[in-house]
Amino acid sequence: MTFSKTLTLNTGAKIPTVGLGTWQAAPGEVAKAVEAALKAGYRHIDCAWAYGNENEVGEGIQASGVPREEIFIVSKLWSTFHRTPEKGLQESLEKLGTDYLDLYLMHWPIPLNGENKSHPLVPTRANGARDLDEEWSYIDTWKEMEKLVDTGKVKAIGVSNCSVPYLEELLKHAKIVPAANQCECHALNAELELADYCKSKGIVFEAYSPLGSSGSPLMKEDVVLDIAKKNGVEPGTILLSYLVNRDIVVLPKSVNPTRIASNQNIIDLSPEDIEKLNQLGSGDQQKRYCNPPWGVDLKFKGWKVLSTAK
Ligand code: NDP
């Protein structure tokens, strides 16, 4: 068991390898889930302004009685705040009821026009296309995020949904190397190259949708079931252990107290089992469950880096 294992960020801070995901946790459920997680031993909560439930997450933290300084809280800058990261951060801090974040991530390297109020998350143009802010790049955003570190309101900054080319471009201009990159990664999407690249740059790689997102479909994969049977554990333990064994942070979302608790069970897998899962996740059956139309192609086909760095 590697229960409550941590990884060290490039700031020297420790990040617990298992964090509670809070996306799509319905109103009325997430405060209880956060409270249950913290009482069960979690010390890492993954949040985002875009999830629309940070106030409830804050309530759950408060109800748990766990001191703020013991908890690693992550939130994310939404795409309509790329020109105004301080505003986006302030809104998250107020909702969460805290005066600092342990890690603040750029949710997507995609600046959207924050002046366009046609939709709270993804403003659109008259033709229905997302309203990209083409005069601004995620590099510009990063430079603004770097300034937030000096305010003390964020202990570390990082990115999310960045492929290797996006990171390469960012590192050409960054004063601060991102502490983390959070991307979809699991048994059907191993992201071997991206994870290796992050490791080589001292960027902690974080896996979202580690169970295959809504309904946890990866629990039914034959390879996963076989390895679970051999090890005498639940399939979920295999899915999460596979990533933690690769030194990847996992963010399983659950609102069910029993599943919340069991998602902390991490075992050491044999190199053979890890290799089987690596092959499953990098072969023809590769799959992404979270590929929203406003996002980027992590494989970087057909997309140019929006770098107009000033
Ligand atoms: P997950 O892969 O964590 O899967 C969540 C689903 O699995 C839910 O339906 C949950 O149901 C179910 N589940 C959880 N544990 C178990 C278990 N032990 N047995 C059976 N079913 C289980 O999906 P997410 O897409 O939510 O990803 C996790 C987190 O990653 C998000 O919540 C969010 O914090 C982050 N994320 C970040 C993104 C980004 O762009 N940076 C994008 C997507 C996610 P139930 O709740 O009923 O248990």
Residue range 7-35, pLDDT digits in tens: 999 999 999 999 999 999 988 999 999 99
State the closest ligand 1 atom to the C-alpha of 262, by its place in the atom list counted from 1: 18
Question: Do 181 and 167 contact (CB within 8 A), yes or no?
Answer: yes
In the reported structure, the alpha carbon of residue 48 is separated from the centroid of ligand 1 by a whole-number distance in angstroms of 14
* Residues 213-252: b if buried by 16+ CB within 10 A, e if exposed: beebebbebebbeebbeebebebbbbbbbbbbbbebbbbb
Alpha-carbon distance of 97 to 91, in angstroms, equals 10
State the closest ligand 1 atom to the C-alpha of 259, by its place in the atom list counted from 1: 18
Alpha-carbon distance of 141 to 77, in angstroms, equals 10
Ligand 1 atom 28: residue of nearest CA: 209
Asked whether residue 297 carries a pLDDT value surpassing 80, the answer given is no
Q: What is the pLDDT of residue 296?
A: 62
Q: What is the pLDDT of residue 308?
A: 37
Asked whether residue 182 carries a pLDDT value surpassing 80, the answer given is yes
Q: Which residues contact 156 (CB under 8 A, 6 or more apart)?
A: 9, 10, 11, 13, 102, 103, 104, 149, 179, 180
Which residues contribute to the annotated binding site?
107
Alpha-carbon distance of 114 to 199, in angstroms, equals 33
- Mapping DSSP to helix (H, G, I), strand (E, B) and coil, where does residue 229 land? helix
208 annotated active-site: no
**Mean pLDDT of the residues in the chain:** 93
Question: Do 235 and 219 contact (CB within 8 A), yes or no?
Answer: yes
Q: What is the pLDDT of residue 62?
A: 98
In the reported structure, the alpha carbon of residue 90 is separated from the centroid of ligand 1 by a whole-number distance in angstroms of 26
Look up the pTM and report it.
0.95
The pLDDT tens digits for 89-103 are 999 999 999 999 999
Q: What is the pLDDT of residue 294?
A: 60
Report phi then psi at 147, rounded to 5: -70, -25
Q: In the chain, what are the helix, strand and coil shares in percent, each to the nearest 5? A: 40, 15, 45
- Rama region for 215: left / alpha / beta (φ>0; ψ in -120 to 50; rest): left
Q: Which residues contact 59 (CB under 8 A, 6 or more apart)?
A: 31, 34, 97
Ligand 1 atom 42: residue of nearest CA: 208
**Is the reported ipTM for this assembly greater than 0.90?**
yes
Alpha-carbon distance of 204 to 190, in angstroms, equals 15
In the reported structure, the alpha carbon of residue 212 is separated from the centroid of ligand 1 by a whole-number distance in angstroms of 7
Alpha-carbon distance of 64 to 42, in angstroms, equals 11
Ligand 1 atom 19: residue of nearest CA: 259
Pocket of ligand 1 (CB under 6 A): 21-24, 46, 107, 160-161, 182, 208-216, 219, 236, 251-256, 259, 262-263, 290
Ligand 1 atom 11: residue of nearest CA: 254
Q: Tell me which residue has tokens 């750029």.
A: 106
In the reported structure, the alpha carbon of residue 52 is separated from the centroid of ligand 1 by a whole-number distance in angstroms of 16
293 confidence band (pLDDT: 50, 70, 90): low
Which residues contribute to the annotated binding site for substrate?
107
Which of 208, 220, 262 for mutating ligand 1's site (highest number of atoms within 8 Å of CB)? 208
Report phi then psi at 159, rounded to 5: -130, 175
In the reported structure, the alpha carbon of residue 97 is separated from the centroid of ligand 1 by a whole-number distance in angstroms of 24
State the closest ligand 1 atom to the C-alpha of 236, by its place in the atom list counted from 1: 18
